[in-house]
Structure 1
Amino acid sequence: MSSNASSYSNPFAVDPTEIRDINVHARVPVVLDASNSTYFAWKTYFSLLFRENNLVDHVDGTVDSRAMVDDPEWAAIDATIIRWFFTTISKDLFHMVVRTGDDARAMWVKLNNLFTDNKLRRRIFLQQEFFHCHQDEQSIDDYCRRLKTLADELRDIGAKVDDDLLLSTLTAGLNEDFGNAASNHTLMLEPSFPKFVAYLRLEERRMKGVKKRVQHHALAAGTSRGAPPVPCQQPPPPVPPGYFPLPPAPPAPPAAPQQPGGGCHGNRRGGGRKQQQASGGPHLQQ
């Protein structure tokens, strides 16, 4: 950098061209948005990016940017940092913070203040979400990641969440499938959040294996007791050339209705008359 900048920035040389060619989306793989919990990750990625490239003095307030107006290298790097901010925040945030004349330091402070101002209200909101966070249908990784993100955001506004509180909240929010695992954390030597999360991952993997074996055995049992096989239907024999099948016979006519006195009861009465004739006629009543 030029001699004017040497007294303000760190002694390591910074090439504006190399800074401009950095793929910021590879270094900061999140988009800052007020509607989700990405602030802690976004801030952490940018803090590492500044330290890796000796750019901390552009955002930490140790250099008076007004004294660097005439330094083209400083101005070029500052503009690159502002472009990084604009391409890693949501459109709503962009329209909220964009303003002509802001340097990288002003933009950095403005973006951070959006998530750290109104600390009391934000703390109440985050604490409610943190203590009511449950696993439900989430995987262990998704659930634990969500819980840790909320704890980090609470820490950013001064509400410290220690490891014991994080661990107990994690245990209380597990679903019923992890009931035994939740009680086992007290048996660990020096339990911690990372150690218990690693244990839960193994337990989730074991449970998936058990479920898969049960389904396999049920399928195998159902196949062995299955319905009898459906017989194969043979195709009809081929029709020889010149053969014309006869039309189907007409249906038989309906049966004639029975005469009165017929049927089962009539036969019984007829049998009675024949018996009377055979015995010499009806007996007279005395």
Structure 2
Amino acid sequence: MGKDDDTSSSSSYDYHLDLGVNNIKNVIPLILDREKVQYSNWVELFECYAHAYNILDHIDSKTPKLTDISDERLKRLDSIVKNWIYGTISKDFLETIIEKGAAAQQIWDKLKNLKDQLANVDQPVLEQKLVIRLVSGLINTDVDIVAAMIQQM
């Protein structure tokens, strides 16, 4: 009774490496946040870890999906990957990207978009571009001749 029961229950439960990960912060020591933007380093660590545990397909659409596991197992793995993401980002980022029912790939893409938006915020603008922007707003006003002359400079 005992031996047969153990065999049948273990064969119905597939073990995947990432199911054994208890604390993702032990292997990804960076916390992604707005103040100390380390997106490239964080992504490198995360992708290396995902590749090592054969779950890169959950965050990289170019990686072929596993086909030899059940839908239930895929959902479980996806939840694990989402928890890894959630566990390695700041509360501020978490509140921005969390979405009930979203797949890990969707969360990953949201983070990438957020990173792109934040990168544009701190970009310096050349003085010449600022002047041209300001002057373009003067066209079709009383000083449009002056504005046109400045734009041509």
Question: Could you tell me the TM-score, scaled by structure 1's length?
Answer: 0.34
Runs of at least 5 residues in structure 2 that lack an aligned partner in the other structure = 1-13, 126-153
Question: Alpha-carbon deviations, 1:51-70, whole Å to 9, x = none?
Answer: 111211111124799xxxx7
In structure 2, the residue matched to 1:105 is 105
Task: Decide whether the 8 Å contact of 2:78 with 2:104 is kept in 1.
Answer: yes
Structure 2 CA distance for partners of 1:54 and 1:32, relative to 1, 3 Å: same
How well do the aligned residues superpose, as a CA RMSD in angstroms? Answer: 2.7
Structure 2 CA distance for partners of 1:124 and 1:54, relative to 1, 3 Å: farther
What is the percent sequence identity of the aligned residues?
24
The within-5 A match list for 1:162-201 is: none
Distance 1:31 1:118 in 2: 16
In structure 1, the residue matched to 2:86 is 86
Distance 1:39 1:27 in 2: 16
Provide the secondary structure at the position in 1 that maps to 2:48. helix
In structure 1, the residue matched to 2:24 is 24
Provide the secondary structure at the position in 1 that maps to 2:124. helix
Question: Alpha-carbon deviations, 1:222-241, whole Å to 9, x = none?
Answer: xxxxxxxxxxxxxxxxxxxx
Structure 2 CA distance for partners of 1:63 and 1:100, relative to 1, 3 Å: farther
Structure 2 CA distance for partners of 1:123 and 1:51, relative to 1, 3 Å: farther
In structure 1, the residue matched to 2:36 is 36
Distance 1:87 1:119 in 2: 23
Distance 1:91 1:30 in 2: 14
Distance 1:19 1:44 in 2: 18
Question: Alpha-carbon deviations, 1:112-149, whole Å to 9, x = none?
Answer: 21112365444439xxxxxxxxxxxxxxxxxxxxxxxx
Provide the secondary structure at the position in 1 that maps to 2:37. coil
Distance 1:51 1:95 in 2: 27
User: Which is higher, the Rg of structure 1 or of structure 2?
Assistant: 1
Provide the secondary structure at the position in 2 that maps to 1:124. coil
Distance 1:43 1:63 in 2: 16
Distance 1:38 1:122 in 2: 15
Provide the secondary structure at the position in 2 that maps to 1:99. coil
Structure 2 CA distance for partners of 1:60 and 1:95, relative to 1, 3 Å: same
Distance 2:43 2:27 in 1: 12
Structure 2 CA distance for partners of 1:118 and 1:24, relative to 1, 3 Å: closer
Query: 1:30 Cα deviation (Å)?
Result: 0.7
Provide the secondary structure at the position in 2 that maps to 1:117. helix
Structure 2 CA distance for partners of 1:89 and 1:119, relative to 1, 3 Å: closer
Distance 1:116 1:35 in 2: 15
In structure 2, the residue matched to 1:76 is 76
Larger relative contact order (C-alpha < 8 A, sep ≥ 6)?
Answer: 2
Question: Could you tell me the TM-score, scaled by structure 2's length?
Answer: 0.61
The within-5 A match list for 1:113-124 is: 113-117=113-117, 119-124=119-124
Distance 2:64 2:101 in 1: 14
Distance 2:80 2:54 in 1: 14
Task: Report runs of 4+ in structure 1 exceeding 2 Å deviation.
Answer: 62-65, 117-125
Structure 2 CA distance for partners of 1:118 and 1:36, relative to 1, 3 Å: closer
